[in-house]
Amino acid sequence: MAINLDPKIPSGDLKDKWQKHKFDSKLVNPANKRKFSVIVVGTGLAGGSAAATLAELGYNVMSFCIQDTPRRAHSIAAQGGINAAKNYPNDGDSVKRLFYDTIKGGDYRAREANVYRLAEVSTNIIDQMVAQGVPFAREYGGYLDNRSFGGAQVSRTFYARGQTGQQLLLGCYSGMMKMVSKGKIKMFNRREMMDLVTINGKARGIIVRNLITGELERYAADAVLLCTGGYGNVYFLSTNAMTSNASAAWRCYKRGAAFANPCFTQIHPTCIPVHGDYQSKLTLMSESLRNDGRVWVPNAVGDKRKPEEIPEEERDYYLERVYPSFGNLAPRDVSSRQAKYRYDEGKGVGSTGQAVYLDFRDAIKRDGREVIAGRYGNLFEMYERITGDDPYKTPMMIYPAVHYTMGGLWVDYNLQSTVPGLHVLGEANFSDHGANRLGASALMQGLADGYFVIPNTLSHYLASTPLEKVTTDDQAFKDAEEAVKIQTSKLLGIKGKRTVDDFHKALGHIMWEKVGMARNETGLKWAIDNIRKLKEEFWHDVNVPGDVGNFNLELHKATRVADFLELGELMALDALERNESCGGHFREEYQTKDGEAVRDDEKYAHSAVWEYTGQNSSPIRHKEELKFEYVQLATRSYK
Amino acid sequence: MASENTMTLNLKIWRQKNGATEGKLVDYRVDHVSPDMSFLEMIDVLNGQLVKKGEDPIAFDHDCREGICGMCSMMINGKAHGGYKNTTTCQVHMRLYNNGDTIVIEPFRAQAFPIVKDLAVDRSAIDKVMIKGGYITANTGNAQDANAILIPKPIADEAMDAAACIGCGACVASCPNGSGMLFMGAKISQLALLPQGQPEAPKRALNMVHEHDSLGFGNCTNHAECEATCPKGISIEHIARMNREYLKAAFTYYEKTRSEGGA
């Protein structure tokens, strides 16, 4: 089957493309909008904003959420902020600079036109969220406050204490509740998407599991929007929520939606280090802390003194040393790798050595405890609750952890996947961040896609596509449901010896060691072999207790881990095929002598787009060539 | 951070197959509990043991495990989220307990929160209250420039204090009346403090309060248990502001319905 990878980038100058495209797109007139129904899976920033906005426009929206209410989607945990090219501080920011920073930050592996549009609509997002009552941080004069984030030399990040994601998500949630009250959104909580239903090649519905009753349910619509977030939980330990998973996206992949750049994962530099094998997740400490915190390790290998006892001249503030112009605000991929180098050199701290210090001593001395508490008080409290250490008195210990996935389902400029009618928004798509995402840009992308992009591009699809009437009694729905039932009974019938978590941890270990911060050919081949073996064992030896007819949490986990095992293999394969280092993908074979990434623009200035070909055959790697017309490809330097 | 001093704990956990059956407390023992474990990780360990024995693991709600999504619940020794200041269940760590302790774990109990299974409850009543007005009607489009609306810092800060609510329902579970006035008051107060929230303020207060009362939540009689257990430290001052908003609206608000047709 040939897949169409035409990115559908509009013609014209970069800065005019989006306006032109909106004008050229077909519209659905207000009276006809109520004749269309749209399924939105996921209620994070992308799904929540899309559902609310499409409902406001008059479409009939069905919204599906895995938690007990849409207000709990994992966007809620984003701490630091949201970028927008407002240039309120008058420090030289512009749409063009945000565009440029994002392309460069992504190590030149994202599509120019998409990224420019993202920067362009970023300013509307802030206006919209303020209109909805999001209490962003303010100056005494009543104006909005900004701060800096990694990879940028301007202050363009808007924030609401350390809870920016929460406040934005609650804004989306309130917009959704408004439309629920008007009957334009129907909410389906505690549902998990189990499959995509395609009819005549178009996405026309979904099969979901009601997580409480265990029953499968069918829903039909004119289009499906997938807003189900990223796949970082492949690694078992990550900063993602426990139910964050890849299954919805993976089932779409198996139904013909191509998967782009699966190996592009972001390892965030500032997380609370791992402390035991019982650990269930890792907690992020916001990147905003690097505005005032200084990252260091002892100069001497194996220095076991308390941090307070190590004098200034015996400390290595390595980010300031290696990257004098960006210092502690070097981008995430770069900062994480430098932390790993310190561990490799034996200079890591803490009981495992897998930690570095993030020290606020100098900031507290300079600005006073009260000012620092005002900025980061809640983060400091959170750190103390988890570790028992007080960061006002002793440096935090941090280490990199899996945080975000830049890869995802391939989409064109309209956010449509290779399956017509299936649109993919937010972290679930691959579109805007290239090989590395800058801090405070995930919230921006989710909301840009949901509020401003999809309402325009979806109307064009609905107005220009012949959509025959379908019902949930169609054969395609029955077949899809049957396939889910078969998989479920198979999982429940194995009754082996190992728990689902055992397998998930084993997969996570392989992924972290071999498909993590540094990768090489031997390791990746080993990973592929061992993931395959693990998958075999899983299907013979997993123990899923209970039955299907109730709230069976182990069964829910088992279906997700079954998909993670397949996705993990594709990630390793993608990493193996990309013979260069770029952004979050660091191949040890391709580096300078001081450990910086070496890109290969001749051979790899493209997105790798994987097509599923069946359970027993290898996926096909296609390419979408990236054309850079406005940005000069350069070696990314933060020195 | 790793520690050698592991503990043995005795747990009494509420088991209930579903909302239609009766539940009871069941005794469990967990060994080798590390003080660095979170409370939910301790239950993960127990569940792992139950699965290996072929028993049904304990169902409980949880998701972000960093204290912000509001999904985790549980009464720990009779207190919502364990009763530690500004702490959700997922952020309770085992260093707060001692070797040999007996811990009683039950679901949130309130008329408005029926039990789903074991420790998981149905909190959809919270959404139902929000649907009646917990928003500002600002459709997506070309909203005015964000800095055109000036909000003094102290007002923005107070609105943020209220907006920090995670909708976990601990306030309801800890209130002797099963009242939802803290989470509802927090939303009404947040939007009443902000200039953007003014046009709908009276209608919001009236509609949300009426819905709250009809869903089986009780009234506020100033016990302030909610404030003491709220994991986000939300003050009952927001209930007071809600009451003022409600009173003001009850005296002054009258919605006329006019035809919106035109030529």
Higher pLDDT, A461 or A379: A461
Give the span between the Cα atoms of A95 and A110, in whole angstroms. 17
Residue in B61, B131, B137 nearest the CB of A180: B131
pLDDT at res. B259? 64
B34 at A interface, C-beta within 8 A: yes
Chain B 193-222, residues with CB within 8 Å of chain A CB atoms:
194, 196-197
Nearest residue on chain B to A350, alpha-carbon basis:
B1
B190 at A interface, C-beta within 8 A: yes
Q: Does pLDDT of A277 surpass 60? A: yes
Nearest residue to A159 via CA among A138, A140, A142, A174: A138
Q: Are B51 and A545 inside 8 Å of each other by CB?
A: yes
Instruction: Determine the average pLDDT of the residues in A302-320.
Output: 95
Share of residues in chain A with pLDDT > 90 (%): 93
Question: Position of tokens 């970023």?
Answer: A122
CB A59 within 8 A of CB A33: yes
Give the span between the Cα atoms of A422 and A430, in whole angstroms. 14
Instruction: Determine the average pLDDT of the residues in B1-27.
Output: 89
Give the span between the Cα atoms of A605 and A628, in whole angstroms. 9
Confidence of residue A287 (pLDDT cuts 50, 70, 90): confident
Residue in B52, B63, B91 nearest the CB of A242: B63
Instruction: Determine the average pLDDT of the residues in A257-275.
Output: 96
pLDDT at res. B257? 63
pLDDT at res. B263? 56
A182 at B interface, C-beta within 8 A: no
Rg (CA), chain A: 24
| CA atoms A595, A599, A603, A607: torsion sign | positive
User: Helix, strand, coil shares of chain A as percentages rounded to 5?
Assistant: 40, 15, 40
How far does the CA of residue A174 sit from the closest CA of chain B (Å)? 5
A121 at B interface, C-beta within 8 A: no
Instruction: Determine the average pLDDT of the residues in A510-531.
Output: 97
A433-452: pLDDT as tens digits: 999 999 999 999 999 999 99
pLDDT at res. A493? 97
Instruction: Determine the average pLDDT of the residues in A483-492.
Output: 97
| Phi, psi dihedrals of residue A593, rounded to the nearest 5° | -70, -20
CB B219 within 8 A of CB B201: no
Q: Does pLDDT of B2 surpass 50? A: no
Nearest residue to A42 via CA among A61, A59, A58: A61
pLDDT at res. A620? 98
Q: Which residues of B touch A554 (CB under 8 A)?
A: 51, 57
Give the span between the Cα atoms of A122 and B222, in whole angstroms. 44
Q: Which residues of B60-91 are buried (b: 16+ CB within 10 A; e: fewer)?
A: bbbbbbbbbbbbbbbbbeebbbbbbebbbbbb
Q: Are B160 and A77 inside 8 Å of each other by CB?
A: no
Give the span between the Cα atoms of B217 and A132, in whole angstroms. 27
Q: For residue A451, what is the DSSP state?
A: I
| CA atoms A348, A350, A354, A355: torsion sign | negative
Strands A185-188 and A60-64: parallel
Instruction: Determine the average pLDDT of the residues in A250-270.
Output: 97
Give the span between the Cα atoms of A330 and A290, in whole angstroms. 9
CB A437 within 8 A of CB A406: yes
Q: Are B138 and A132 inside 8 Å of each other by CB?
A: yes
Residue in A189, A212, A386 nearest the CB of B93: A386
A278 at B interface, C-beta within 8 A: yes
pLDDT at res. B1? 43
Neighbouring residues of A148: CB distance < 8 A, sequence distance ≥ 6 = A154, A155, A156, A157, A291, A329
Nearest residue to B93 via CA among B45, B42, B39: B39
Share of residues in chain A with pLDDT > 70 (%): 100
Q: Which residues of A touch B61 (CB under 8 A)?
A: 68
Q: Which of A332, A375, A437, A587 is catalytic?
A: A332
A5-41: pLDDT as tens digits: 999 999 999 999 999 999 999 999 999 999 999 999 9
Confidence of residue B260 (pLDDT cuts 50, 70, 90): low
Q: Are A132 and B135 inside 8 Å of each other by CB?
A: yes
CB A392 within 8 A of CB A360: yes
A156-180: pLDDT as tens digits: 999 998 899 999 999 999 999 999 9
Helices marked H in A84-237 — which ranges?
95-105, 112-131, 164-181
Q: Does pLDDT of A324 surpass 90? A: yes
Lowest mean per-residue pLDDT among A368-382, A490-504, B120-134: A368-382
Give the span between the Cα atoms of B180 and A342, in whole angstroms. 51
Mean pLDDT for all residues in chain A: 96
A68-80: pLDDT as tens digits: 999 999 999 998 8
Mean pLDDT for all residues in chain B: 95
Tell me, yes or no, if A332 is annotated catalytic: yes
Q: Does pLDDT of A323 surpass 70? A: yes
CB A418 within 8 A of CB A4: yes
How far does the CA of residue B84 sit from the closest CA of chain A (Å)? 10
3-state secondary structure A379-439: HHHHHHHHHCCCCCCCCEEEEEEEEEECCEECCCCCCECCCCCEEECHHHECCCCCCCCCC
B145-186: pLDDT as tens digits: 999 999 999 999 999 999 999 999 999 999 999 999 999 999
Q: Are A56 and B126 inside 8 Å of each other by CB?
A: no
3-state secondary structure B107-124: CCCECCECEEECCEECCH
pTM beyond 0.90, yes or no: yes
Q: Does pLDDT of B34 surpass 90? A: yes
How far does the CA of residue B2 sit from the closest CA of chain A (Å)? 6
